[in-house]
A = this chain, B = another copy of it.
Amino acid sequence: MAERRLAKGVRQERLRAELKRDPFITDEELAQKLAVSIQTIRLDRLELGIPEVRKRTRLLATEAFERVTSLNRNELFGELLALEPGKSGISMMLTTEEMVLSRRSVVRGHYLFFQANSLAVAVIPATAVLTRDAEVHYLAPVGVGEKLIAHATVVQVEGRHYRVEVKIRRGTEEVFRGVFVVVALEEQ
């Protein structure tokens, strides 16, 4: 592996890369991979503000656990900013690295679809809503770290069927437009 002594900065970048690849690696394993002592690894972690393996593991697990419980608890993908049941709603979603295919820089389309679809469902005044049809257009690619604001408007109601139009913007630029036909199964 590393035959010659790496400059500190280079080694610390290597350390970051290793941890990104395998968050569960121990200091001992890192020391071997980077050909330095375990104490040096620990000094590096201290300097870089990187917690120990058990803490990192706990963080990952906690995030995952909270994501599962909060996603399943809330029907909305993203944060609700405004809501007029039966009429309109606004939600905000921040794009993260997880939403991107590795080796790419564009957020995968289904995340936008779901932000839109879940908001379209959320504006319906019913406890159980099913999507029937959707027609969507992706207008521009979206990157990581972008704040997407979705606006949903109920444009038509026929009995239990609602036609909801959703537009997603990044700043003033529209990046996604969709029309969802949803059905209210149980009115509130």
Binding site for B on A (CB under 8 A): 23-24, 54, 57-58, 60-65, 67-69, 71-73, 75, 77, 98, 100-102, 104, 106, 108-110, 113-114, 117-118, 128, 130-138, 141
Extra pairs beyond A69-B102, A110-B118 (13, CB < 8 Å): A24-B65, A54-B57, A60-B60, A61-B61, A71-B98, A110-B113, A110-B117, A113-B134, A132-B138, A133-B135, A133-B136, A134-B134, A134-B136
Q: Which interface residue of A109, A113, A137, A138 has the most chain B CB atoms within 10 A?
A: A109
Minimum C-beta distance from A174 to chain B (A): 14
Known: A61-B23, A63-B64, A64-B61. A138 touches B128 (CB 8 A): no
Each complex incorporates copies of this chain amounting to: 2
Q: Which residue of B lies closest to A64 (CB)?
A: B64
Q: Which interface residue of A23, A106, A114, A136 has the most chain B CB atoms within 10 A?
A: A136
Set of chain B residues within 8 Å of A61, measured between Cβ atoms? 23-24, 57-58, 60-61, 64
18 contacts between A and B (CB under 8 A): A23-B65, A24-B62, A24-B65, A58-B61, A60-B60, A60-B61, A63-B64, A64-B64, A72-B100, A75-B101, A104-B128, A109-B134, A110-B110, A110-B117, A131-B138, A132-B138, A135-B135, A135-B136
